[in-house]
Chain A
Amino acid sequence: MDEQTKQFIRSVEYSVRTGCLDDSFEQGTSLFLNVQPKHLMTIGNACMMEGAVFDSAFVSSADPAMEEFTLYYLFRAASIGRMLVVSARGSSFDALSETVNAAQWDERKIQDLTGLRLAGIPDSRPLIFHPESGFPAAHPIGGMPYKHPKGTEYPMEGTGEEGEFEVAVGPVHAGIIEPGHFRFHVVGERINKMETRMFYLHRGIEKKAEGQQAASILPLIEQISGDEAVANSVAYCQAVEQALKMTVPKRAEAIRAVLMELERIYSHLADLGGMATDVGFTLPASRFAIWREDFMRLNAAISKSRFLHNQIVVGGVAADIDEAKAARIAALLKKVLETQTLERMAFSSSTFLDRVFQAGTVSKAIAKDLALVGPPARACGMQTDLRLVLPYGAYSHITVNESIEKEGGDVLARFRVKLAEIKESARVAHSLVQHLPPGALREKVPAQKKHPEAVGVGWAEAARGSCTFLVEILPSGAIKRLACRTASFRNWRALEKAVEGNIVPDFPLINKSFNLSYAGTDV
């Protein structure tokens, strides 16, 4: 452990008393701190005082006899380049969201999954279960019988202003879009308050993974969110690799990075096209759609899947990028790098600029409060790109220029960030694909029973922002618990803030500028 890390631990420990950490150890670039449940919130807050940013909160599997759980609170500590994993085992906990607003959904999800009640949680409505669809007989994690909360209503309150009325939208929307419910409290066209209700697409993926071999569930991981299949797979594999202390070959790391950049490009092209569509700017929308289809066909040509499925495996990658494939990728990327059409089309229309400028603004204060990730955070000047903040895989060896808009936080800023990221991804992938290091494609998964029960944490920067996975693996190699937090899960609540004060017709545009994945949120 380096001196800087030791110093960090000392400062955090000092907030309670020296020696209050039961255990601290390094694992890859993660730093695990085990504490007593009563110290969990103090230590969590102390980590944030030291500059760490709240990342996610997860719950472990339960020991049914003991009815005890481990809560994991993850923080990104850029100053020491580590992911902090603060954990405590027990049966009663306080809620971090009492002081850290960003943790609210994470903790509501923990309550629904396990039946634990976190003391002091500001919002205790069920999150993943919908009263009208019925509650399960038992909590999915741990199996405690489900105690039905009173009533079948899910109250959504307005601001109480005179003349305010409600507009309910969804879960089935007008366009080709995923399901979610939006409740607008409006006066005329002005939105006073908007609340989202998600988890219509909750498919129990975390639970389904339990008991399956860690190396065999990548098809399930790809079902979390279709257009983040690669990033989620990489983050998941890195968690498993960290737990099993595996080293990924250099060539595999580089191929993973190329695939992740291709995914970012096609995903961002969809967003930019979507934003253009939503202001009725159809010509560039079609252009972006054409580019996107070209990338989907490139994906199919190099991986037999338009969504780059089945490429990432635990320990490396399943298939090589040979010279022919590399040439094909480089040729299309070169076209993206050389073209000026994308920028010119977007910024040539004053009516387009008028619609996007100062629409759906998120202030930096809100972005910090909700610990936003990805382009919405970068659009208000926050450095959140994990390729730089906590580099992993090939990104530890290459330079990525982060696309940040110092001010703005509006639709235009998010548009600019995504446009710049397309170019930067094309540059990064173009240079990677032409200089793929030689070597093996994957490391073998260690034989069963060679390793003790282990915990691992993995993360990646997906197109929408960072995603984090936590796995507990049994000595048999089977998953004991899988937990994940996608960028969309983290950023949804920012959309609620972004639309405040805007008009209802701008909602689709603002929504599209975030382009969050409903499935990725609901898991």
Chain B
Amino acid sequence: MLLENLRYIFDRRYTDKVSAKSDDPAIREVAQLLKGRSHSPFARSIHVRMVDAGSPNDVELEEGLMMSPRVDAERFGVHFVASPRHADVLLVTGPVAKNMHIALIKTYEAMAEPRAVVAAGDGACFGWEGKDNYALAAGTGKVEDVLHVDVKVPGNPPTPYQLLAGILKAGSVLAKKSEEHHHHKK
């Protein structure tokens, strides 16, 4: 048992190889994004706060699996944090339910600049068809209608690697925003 556990801890075979030659286009995209970010201040540190504003919980499960040993997003510096005050990225799933509207805005407002918003999943990116669902914010629940969105990750739900690619893209957005911020200061 002990030997088995030790082998398990040090054995890397459980974690996927992220290579530009992978069969999965999302893994290829992640590999591409990782290549170009070595000089970014967010190269090895992107802190994410998630808000489920209306998803049926599948995007959240994929976020969980993104942190699991197979995908292991932490090896690329992606961390989920408990407080929006510690976060660089707000990962929002949807469609935004009317009852979640206030909580979503409050969470966003608690974040420090620079910050980026990722809309994850079809519900968040496109809202629901039909214009006036009584239960959805802005009638369709599209995140864009209630917050500025920097990166969209469509999918029903997006896979862990698609989510990871979206967060890495938000890292580039953050790098740009932080540069602009410093430039503005000078």
Contact = CB atoms under 8 A, between A and B. Distances in A.
B38 interface: no
A518 B4 CA distance: 37
Interface in A299-324: 305-307, 309
Interface string B44-77: 0000001111111111111111011111000000
Interface residues of B, number: 52
A519 B99 contact: no
Given A204-B134, A287-B8, A344 B1 contact: yes
B141 interface: yes
A305 B157 CA distance: 9
Contact of B83 (A140, A174, A348): A174
Interface string A277-311: 00000010011011011001000000001110100
A365 interface: no
Contacts of B56: 222-226, 229, 519-520
Contact of B68 (A200, A204, A293): A293
Nearest to B96: A203
A401 to B, nearest CB: 28
B3 to A, nearest CB: 13
A171 to B, nearest CB: 5
Contacts, number: 135
A130 interface: yes
B62 A306 contact: yes
B156 A201 contact: no
Given A171-B100, A293-B68, A517-B57, A307 B134 contact: no
Contacts of A223: 56, 123
A172 B103 contact: yes
B47 to A, nearest CB: 13
Nearest to A130: B99
A519 to B, nearest CB: 4
A226 B64 CA distance: 14
A122 interface: no
B51 A204 contact: no
A203 B52 CA distance: 13
B99 A307 contact: no
Interface string A165-182: 000000110111111000
Given A178-B52, A283-B5, A307 B64 contact: no
Nearest to B95: A203
Interface in A194-212: 199-204, 207-208
A18 to B, nearest CB: 45
Contact of A176 (B1, B60, B83): B60
A57 interface: no
Contacts of A201: 52, 54, 97, 99-100
Contact of A519 (B1, B8, B51, B55): B55
Interface of A: 129-130, 132-134, 136, 140, 171-172, 174-179, 199-204, 207-208, 222-227, 229, 270, 283, 286-287, 289-290, 292-293, 296, 305-307, 309, 341, 344, 348, 517-520, 522
What 10 A-B pairs are tightest by C-beta distance, nearest first? A226-B58, A204-B135, A174-B82, A289-B68, A226-B56, A293-B70, A226-B57, A519-B56, A136-B134, A200-B99
B69 A290 contact: yes
Contacts of B8: 283, 286-287
B177 interface: no
Given A133-B99, A176-B50, A307-B157, A289 B65 contact: yes
A289 B51 contact: no
Interface string B147-179: 000000000110100000000000000000000
Given A130-B99, A208-B130, 18 more contacts: A132-B102, A134-B98, A172-B51, A176-B50, A176-B80, A179-B103, A200-B99, A201-B100, A203-B95, A203-B128, A207-B134, A208-B128, A208-B133, A226-B57, A226-B61, A289-B70, A309-B156, A517-B57
Interface of A is mostly: loop
A270 B101 contact: no
B40 interface: no
14 contacts: A133-B98, A175-B80, A175-B82, A176-B63, A177-B60, A179-B51, A201-B100, A225-B57, A226-B58, A283-B5, A286-B69, A289-B69, A293-B70, A306-B157
Residue from the set A136, A171, A222, A517 with the largest chain B CB neighbour count within 10 Å: A171
B57 A518 contact: yes
B70 A290 contact: yes
Interface in B93-123: 95, 97-103, 106-107, 123
Contacts of B130: 208
A301 B84 CA distance: 37
